[in-house]
A = this chain, B = another copy of it.
Amino acid sequence: MSLIPILEQHTIHKLLLVFDLTGTFVFAISGAMLGVRRNLDIFGILVLSFAASSAGGITRDLLIGAVPPSAISDWRYLAVALAAGLLAFFLPSPIERLHNEILVFDAAGLALFAVAGTQKALAYGLNPLMAALLGMLTGIGGGIVRDLLVAQTPAVLHKDLYALTALAGAVIVVIGKTLNWPIVPTAITGGVVCFGLRLMAIRHNWHLPSAQPTQISSALNKDQ
């Protein structure tokens, strides 16, 4: 880190914050809309907004020892998440009609979180492999907690291609760090790759394969 000019560090910091808050807003919308559909009250909807937008980053911060997590110590994350939640609460129908636009913004949020999460994990000294996975986790963790809070299997575990696009962006950031590429262009490349892959996954309905069905009627005692 000491080789990066102070100015660039400052710019990166600013940029990361803007990215982070944008991603926070979009993910909070996805959480709030799920809360609306599940008939939660306004408090439940705001909790889902915050969880969907911040649980990934909070988990990453707990795992790398960055406590209190940014989403807790910086009020702006909360403010953005609550604003998104209130918007979805008072205007669910218009937002619902923006379905496709939201998917695009969600892809953008995923890209931003994956890149920013990877950079933070690298800054805390994690090895490249784990930094990339924590970047991915930053992107998908919010959605996982959001789904668990309404007692459903997280969409990311069985729906269309999502987590791998985040991982692709994260891996680019990690490679760039390893090869000493300039930070900002690397981050942008990682973000664009994730964003582009995700949009293509939506458009072409890309799925990962599932396992071959087996006759598993007498399932494992412990696992049932």
Check B152–A214 contact: CB distance below 8 A: no
A38 at the interface (CB under 8 A from B): yes
Chain A window 181-224, contacts with chain B (Cβ cutoff 8 Å), 1 for yes, 0 for no: 00000000000000000000010000111111011101111111
A30 at the interface (CB under 8 A from B): yes
| Segment of A3-11, A16-24, A65-73, A168-176 in the binding face | A65-73
Copy tally for this chain in the complex stands at 3
A14 at the interface (CB under 8 A from B): no
Q: How far is the CA of A202 from the CA of B162 in the complex (A)?
A: 39
Check A68–B63 contact: CB distance below 8 A: yes
Q: How far is the CA of A89 from the CA of B26 in the complex (A)?
A: 33
Q: How far is the CA of A45 from the CA of B212 in the complex (A)?
A: 12
Q: How far is the CA of A99 from the CA of B210 in the complex (A)?
A: 21
